[in-house]
Structure 1
Amino acid sequence: MSDLLWQKPGVKVDARIQQFLAGEDVILDREFFLFDIEASRAHAEGLQQIGILDAEELAGLKRELEALAEDFRAGRFILDERFEDCHSAIESRLVERLGDAGKKIHTGRSRNDQILVATRLWLKDRLARVAATCRESAEVALARAEAEQGVPLPGYTHLQRAMVSSLGMWWAAWAEGFIDNAQRAVQTLHWVDANPLGSAAGYGVNLPLARDHTTTALGFGRMQVAATYAQISRGKFEMAAIEALSSALLDLRRLAWDLSLFTSAEFGFVALPSQYTTGSSIMPNKRNPDVIELMRASYSAAAAARTEIEQLLSLPSGYHRDLQFSKGAIFHAFGRGLGALELLPDLLRNLEWKTDRMREALDPSMYATDLAVDLARQGLPFREAYKQAADPARWEQGDPEASLAARVSPGAGAQLRLGELRSRLDALR
């Protein structure tokens, strides 16, 4: 490992202790590396504005930061165990190439606000991806609701046959769900869109740092004003981002459950695209819905990550090294969660319904609620209508299209109000 930024003469460094302290940081920090470079560039510009750097030094730093970013993207620079973390790697490279100018880059900042700003930029990027994927999923679901709104589909409660439903109602449910999820991701992005750079270790510094400049240069919506709150917010903002992701993953889990059931031989309502299935290692007859099963499982990573971070936050104000462990949690949550979520739009586009099987599953009992409501509309008290409609002797095989056409309550088969969902979706763009 290269010299530690904090190492002082006469301080002994124990390799085993240092390994424990560093942990997986240098590997995890690969996720943050380009964002840390971006923040370092803005910080350098701010230092030039207040006279710490001259124009030539700033130009050299920006040139070397860009070269380092290009080397990292191309695989010519690897963040590995030579370095304690991404921050020390960047500073080491700048000192190596620029000497004293490189040694000036850390003026006015701490690794505390460095990791905060890199994390915040990373979270903004990931939340934007969550929002975009939810919008795309909602768009696909809404288009299919419009195209297939009158196709009958059995509706279930308690996994028992309940009422006649439709593909229009099924698709509209997911369209509205993912519109909500996109909206929540956007709202959370706006909430975490606050620049902590310049808060240093949480108490500011005796320099007039150009925090307004770094806020604008890094594309933040606002400055996180209170230096101490910048530190207190670490973990809190990460949990909020995970919760926005989790909202989408909860819907993904339920949708995947539907498809797991509907693709089984016992239901046989839908066929998955072949690339979303795998074969068995022993049973030649099998095609397994492994992709949707892992989609269903992906919420667990987000739930575990949120819990892990929450348990880290039993802390007083100020920075504490416990917070280092929050990095792995967010990477695991978004790595697995976004990986699942971003497969969803194409899956929804390519589902093939088996409408004959769906129609065959509509038995006479599923029209009993329609009968009860019809009797109530004719003036019979609903509880009496309910009793009469509960008699199997009165059940007849109905016309599913007629049942759907008569379902005129807002949001039901004949009143999907897809235009309202379309307007909400368009407003998110």
Structure 2
Amino acid sequence: MWGGRFAGGPSAIMREINASIPFDKRLWREDIEASKAHVAMLGRQGVLTASDAQAIAEGLDRVAAEYETNGVPEDWDLEDIHMTTESRLAELIGPVAGRLHTGRSRNDQVATDFKMWVDQAMWQAHDDLHRLQEALVKRAEEHADSIMPGFTHLQTAQPVTLGHHLMAYYEMFERDRSRFVSAAVRLGECPLGSAALAGTGYDLDREFTADLLGFAKGPTRNSLDAVSDRDFALDYLHAASTCAIHLSRLAEEFITWASQPFGFVQMPDTLSTGSSIMPQKKNPDAAELVRGHAGRIIGCATALMVTMKGLPLAYSKDMQDDKPPVFEAADLLTLCLAAMEGMVAGATFRTARMRQAAELGYATATDLADWLVTKADVPFREAHHITGALVRMAEERGCALDQLPLKDMQQVDPRIDASVFDALSVDASVAARKSFGGTAPDQVRARIAEAREALSMEDEE
């Protein structure tokens, strides 16, 4: 390819460090599509004859059919997917294949191919998140009234509903979807036609090429930026990293809830494993791997940021290392989203155990303090102190707050009367949290209805 400049060929080490075909062969569909758009534009502009443009387009279709059937061959002497395709095209149609590269460089070619691939990855993540959200909404609807302890510091705080808890993750994943959408909008400019770095003297119609390839914002406006920009890849990795963090948090909830001390959930058999020595074990391995894969996805984002941070304009060979972290992150994210969808849909929630934990965890202590403020006209700080004393009494006796006798409560503070018991049940506590976005079942159902509409989910009979 570049033998005219060099008297000798590359060393074996240079061949190995320089070749990207082992990983960038994943771009073959985008490379064929972009090449066909480019040659169509060249023919339309009269840069190529109609017969040459047709021969190249037909040849590219033949190469694509071979790749689809047999995969992409790995010849390290050809370095990358671009030269691999062009070389095979020349074998099929002869020297006219060399006209395909008119008015372009591998620099704008790879930027275009990679943008197209990342765009698909963004919409794949968007659609996968949509399915996970649907699973969350369905399970939340089943459990809009199911009471569980809400935690801060992983200590029982206040009672909430399981539906409310699951819908919290719906909101997280909604933000994730929006990040992928906004990133996809930003990458909507086509680099093809920027050539190596300075543009080209050929009469190109870059708007036509951009339109053929579906770049909604048209061609890039600066050729230097176009060939050196990898913001779109970083945008994907940042969105993927945040999404992976959310997936990891949900996975951690399932791992904790599935442990015997909690006993809140039974994981689906299809996403669990056993032990080679302990027959009683049912390990939440899929959830643990989702949690672990988050670290790898974040690592991919870090790797590309470090690669890009010191590069001057325009293209540098360091940028060949842009694709492996994106490919790895996309594969891991797709797998994690599918696994989590399966976990949410297939889990068996032990709602009786959840309710018991809420009742025994003094989750209604805040409700008792609120009752003292509103019904007994006690300043909140004093009410907080009184409630703490009652919690300690219940703890010493091993009972729930609403199981303390009234006379014993009145020994702590005589202003307490029998109506306090109306505030001490977990049901009353949850029902009282009826502010917008609160855990009251009616509020949870309202948010579920909004989510169903946003996701275009059909009502189930």
Q: Partner letter of residue 156 of structure 1? A: F
| Cross-structure match for 2:398 | none
1:396 aligns with 2:392: no
1:95 aligns with 2:93: no
Please report the TM-score for the alignment, with normalisation by the length of structure 2.
0.87
Task: Map 1:187-202; keep pairs closer than 5 Å.
Answer: 187-202=182-197
Pairwise CA distance, 1:238: 1.0
Task: Map 1:7-46; keep pairs closer than 5 Å.
Answer: 7-8=3-4, 10-23=6-19, 25-46=20-41
Pairwise CA distance, 1:18: 2.4
1:372-406 C-alpha deviation (Å, 9 max, x unpaired): 12222334322222222222247325432222111
Pairwise CA distance, 1:36: 0.7
Sort the Cα spacing of 1:208 and 1:373 in 2 relative to 1 into closer, same or farther, 3 A: farther
Sort the Cα spacing of 1:426 and 1:181 in 2 relative to 1 into closer, same or farther, 3 A: farther
Pairwise CA distance, 1:154: 1.5
1:170-216 C-alpha deviation (Å, 9 max, x unpaired): 11101111111111111111111221111111210101212111111
Sort the Cα spacing of 1:71 and 1:255 in 2 relative to 1 into closer, same or farther, 3 A: same
1:249 aligns with 2:231: no
| Cross-structure match for 1:69 | 64
| Cross-structure match for 1:239 | 234
Sort the Cα spacing of 1:387 and 1:421 in 2 relative to 1 into closer, same or farther, 3 A: farther
Helix, strand or coil for the counterpart of 1:161? strand
Partner of residue 380 from structure 2, selected from 354, 379, 382? 382
| Cross-structure match for 2:145 | 150
Pairwise CA distance, 1:77: 4.7
Partner of residue 412 from structure 1, selected from 421, 431, 438? 438
Q: Partner letter of residue 367 of structure 1? A: T
Pairwise CA distance, 1:424: 4.3
Q: Distance in 1 between matches of 2:313 and 2:281?
A: 56
Helix, strand or coil for the counterpart of 1:221? coil
Partner of residue 171 from structure 2, selected from 164, 169, 176? 176
Sort the Cα spacing of 1:61 and 1:401 in 2 relative to 1 into closer, same or farther, 3 A: same
| Cross-structure match for 1:160 | 155
1:179/1:425 contact within 8 Å kept: no
Q: Partner letter of residue 316 of structure 1? A: P
1:364/1:396 contact within 8 Å kept: no
CA RMSD of aligned residues (A): 1.9
1:73-96 C-alpha deviation (Å, 9 max, x unpaired): 212653443531100011101111
Q: Partner letter of residue 354 of structure 1? A: R
1:262/1:269 contact within 8 Å kept: yes
Deviates more, 1:290-299 or 1:280-289: 280-289
Pairwise CA distance, 1:425: 4.0
Q: Distance in 1 between matches of 2:333 and 2:99?
A: 39
Sort the Cα spacing of 1:319 and 1:68 in 2 relative to 1 into closer, same or farther, 3 A: same
Deviates more, 1:249-258 or 1:57-66: 57-66
Q: Partner letter of residue 407 of structure 1? A: R
Pairwise CA distance, 1:116: 0.4
Q: Distance in 2 between matches of 1:424 and 1:369?
A: 34
Helix, strand or coil for the counterpart of 1:52? coil
Pairwise CA distance, 1:262: 0.4
Pairwise CA distance, 1:426: 4.7
Deviates more, 1:394-403 or 1:105-114: 394-403
Pairwise CA distance, 1:14: 2.9
Helix, strand or coil for the counterpart of 2:101? coil
Helix, strand or coil for the counterpart of 1:366? coil
Q: Distance in 2 between matches of 1:83 and 1:32?
A: 15
Pairwise CA distance, 1:140: 1.7
Q: Whose radius of gyration is greater, 1 or 2? A: 2
1:215-236 C-alpha deviation (Å, 9 max, x unpaired): 11111111222111112312x2
**% identical aligned pairs:** 32
Helix, strand or coil for the counterpart of 1:298? helix
Please report the TM-score for the alignment, with normalisation by the length of structure 1.
0.93
Helix, strand or coil for the counterpart of 2:364? helix
Pairwise CA distance, 1:47: 0.9
Helix, strand or coil for the counterpart of 2:402? coil
1:253-308 C-alpha deviation (Å, 9 max, x unpaired): 00000000001111111011111011222322222111110101111122111111
| Cross-structure match for 2:316 | 320
1:129 aligns with 2:124: yes
Pairwise CA distance, 1:28: 0.4
Partner of residue 80 from structure 2, selected from 75, 85, 88? 85
Q: Partner letter of residue 319 of structure 2? A: L
Helix, strand or coil for the counterpart of 1:163? strand
Partner of residue 367 from structure 1, selected from 347, 364, 372? 364
Deviates more, 1:359-368 or 1:316-325: 359-368
Helix, strand or coil for the counterpart of 1:154? strand
Helix, strand or coil for the counterpart of 1:165? strand
Deviates more, 1:414-423 or 1:221-230: 414-423
Q: Distance in 2 between matches of 1:315 and 1:104?
A: 31
Q: Partner letter of residue 51 of structure 2? A: E
Residues paired across the two proteins, number: 421
1:301/1:337 contact within 8 Å kept: no
Q: Partner letter of residue 380 of structure 1? A: V
Sort the Cα spacing of 1:121 and 1:76 in 2 relative to 1 into closer, same or farther, 3 A: closer
Helix, strand or coil for the counterpart of 1:267? coil
Q: Distance in 2 between matches of 1:280 and 1:390?
A: 44
Q: Partner letter of residue 116 of structure 2? A: L
User: Between Structure 1 and Structure 2, which shows a larger proportion of helix residues?
Assistant: 2
Q: Distance in 2 between matches of 1:410 and 1:288?
A: 38
Deviates more, 1:174-183 or 1:278-287: 278-287
Q: Partner letter of residue 370 of structure 2? A: V
Q: Distance in 2 between matches of 1:342 and 1:130?
A: 10
Sort the Cα spacing of 1:76 and 1:359 in 2 relative to 1 into closer, same or farther, 3 A: closer
